[in-house]
Chain A
Amino acid sequence: MQEPSYVLEISHLNKCFGTHEVLTDISFTVQTGDVTCIIGASGSGKSTLLRCINFLEDPTAGQILFHGRDAETQWKRAEYHAKVGMVFQSFNLFNNMTVLDNCVAGQVKVLGRDRKTAVQKSVQYLDKVGMAPYQNARPAQLSGGQKQRVAIARALAMDPEVLLFDEPTSALDPEMVGEVLAVMRDLAQGGLTMLIVTHEMSFARDVANRVIFMDQGLIAEDGAPSEIFTQPKQARTREFLSRVLNR
């Protein structure tokens, strides 16, 4: 093959809620191992973009290709979801299950793994995020940072190729942000393809190999962190960065 093989290709994505156009003609590509951070002001459409990529929202127009095949029509939905995982701002751990079962459920129901293998795999990933000792706890008994680390383990247990993160640390108390970012940094070093919406600018600068700045539903600027953070081309990028960096 000559052309670069993209994991994800988003092309001309559009999303309207009624008459309100939230995403306008979004196109970008993701290669294996890319760590892409999406930054931008609140309300600029970052969450909606991730939710469209994962079909939690129905795109109004446009196409999402996963390994060159249309994610909507040429992939089985369950298979696509297993390969493209998501970590939410509000964790969304299954409240009716223990930590362990949170990680086991998807493997058994969706991937058809037997319970024993699923448990092994779950413990392995819970260990990776430092939550193995808590496998019998229920979500309500954990702190925010612990919940988010379990949510990451739950997503990893599905053996995803891409993980989408929607502001994974925004709902955390400041002292817990570090533990979650450390896990994510680890994953990035391990070569996992990640698409991360975040307000953690230092994380974006240090860990991402690419930063997308969104403004009012558009990709306003897109480039390496060194470019975006040191010499942004657009005035609105400069303005946004000076606002968030000088807090």
Chain B
Amino acid sequence: MQLPSSFFGWVGFLLEKYGNLFLLGTGMTLLISLTGTVIGFVIGLIVATLRTIPVNRRTPGTVRALKALLNVLLNLYIEVFRGTPMIVQAMVIYYGAMQAGLIARGTPIPVVAIFIVSINTGAYMAEIIRGGIISVDKGQKEAAQAIGMTHWQSMVSVVLPQAVRNIMPSIGNEFVVNIKDSSVLNVIAVSELFFMSKSAAGAYLRYFEVFAITAVIYLILTFTVTRILRLIERKMDGSATYTILGSQTFSQSAITIREEKKEG
């Protein structure tokens, strides 16, 4: 068989031969980073809501103590997972869980991978969301409280939606980081894009060509995700127009008001 001699020749050859591998790896990378980001986001929301539970003079001592303990544990979680590399977390969690018998040998590795990315992302998200909550005017929470909403209700329907809108760029950033950094999971043999690329490169020892392809795929992924998140942000801002409902006299001509939109 005639082997290619040019860069593009090799690229075409490798794509044809290992297209499937690239596709599977891309799928796995997307699956892990998307699921990991979403679960991490939920973890972050829960942690942030727990950390902001209010106490007042009627709060019993035991509840106060529990809350203090909870805060210590949550802070510990955040410090540990932000303070160590994900590649090390992967090793410790995977081999630790294996030794402790928590995962049997047959456990699908993607589940482990998603767990690691989620818990790692959760630590970052908790801090990002805390920042988002601080960015929401205190009066919003007070108004919710003043009509009788509980801490959870006011967080869920008033504070967090605004906090999340404010931190959408950071959330998108976490997703992009996860797309790229899930590559470190190749150390525990997760068949994501980097791992698959390594296998593809090994056969003909064409590291440069294979990883050039890999780089382009990562770039396409991150670029697309960034665009999609922009669209979601737009959507969250809601309509820039509203319609003044026709009163009797104006019913012919409902008036539409257009708000000047600032480009951010």
Interface residues of A (CB under 8 A from B): 54-56, 58-59, 72-73, 77-82, 85-86, 88, 90-96, 98, 105-106, 109-111, 132-138, 140-141, 151, 154-155, 158
For B156, the closest partner residue in chain A by CB is: A109
Q: Does B235 sit within 8 A of A, measured CB to CB?
A: no
Known: A72-B58, A95-B140, A135-B245. A56 touches B257 (CB 8 A): no
Interface residues of B in 26-79 (CB under 8 A from A): 56-58
Interface residues of B (CB under 8 A from A): 56-58, 137, 139-140, 142-150, 153, 157-158, 161-162, 165, 238, 242-247, 257, 259
Q: How many A-B residue pairs have CB under 8 A?
A: 92
The secondary structure that dominates the A interface is: loop
In angstroms, Cα B58 to Cα A59, docked, is 11
In angstroms, Cα B148 to Cα A247, docked, is 39
State which of A59, A78, A88, A98 has its C-beta within 8 Å of the C-beta of B143. Answer: A88
For B138, the closest partner residue in chain A by CB is: A92
Asked if residues A96 and B162 are in contact (CB atoms below 8 Å), the reply is: yes
- B63 to A: closest C-beta gap in Å: 15
Asked if residues B243 and A92 are in contact (CB atoms below 8 Å), the reply is: no
Asked if residues A78 and B150 are in contact (CB atoms below 8 Å), the reply is: yes
In angstroms, Cα B58 to Cα A91, docked, is 29
Asked if residues B148 and A132 are in contact (CB atoms below 8 Å), the reply is: no
Asked if residues B259 and A140 are in contact (CB atoms below 8 Å), the reply is: yes
Asked if residues A94 and B158 are in contact (CB atoms below 8 Å), the reply is: yes
Asked if residues A85 and B139 are in contact (CB atoms below 8 Å), the reply is: no
24 contacts between A and B (CB under 8 A): A58-B56, A59-B57, A72-B58, A77-B148, A77-B150, A78-B149, A85-B147, A86-B143, A90-B139, A91-B139, A92-B139, A95-B140, A96-B162, A105-B157, A111-B148, A133-B244, A133-B245, A133-B246, A137-B242, A137-B257, A138-B238, A138-B242, A140-B259, A141-B257
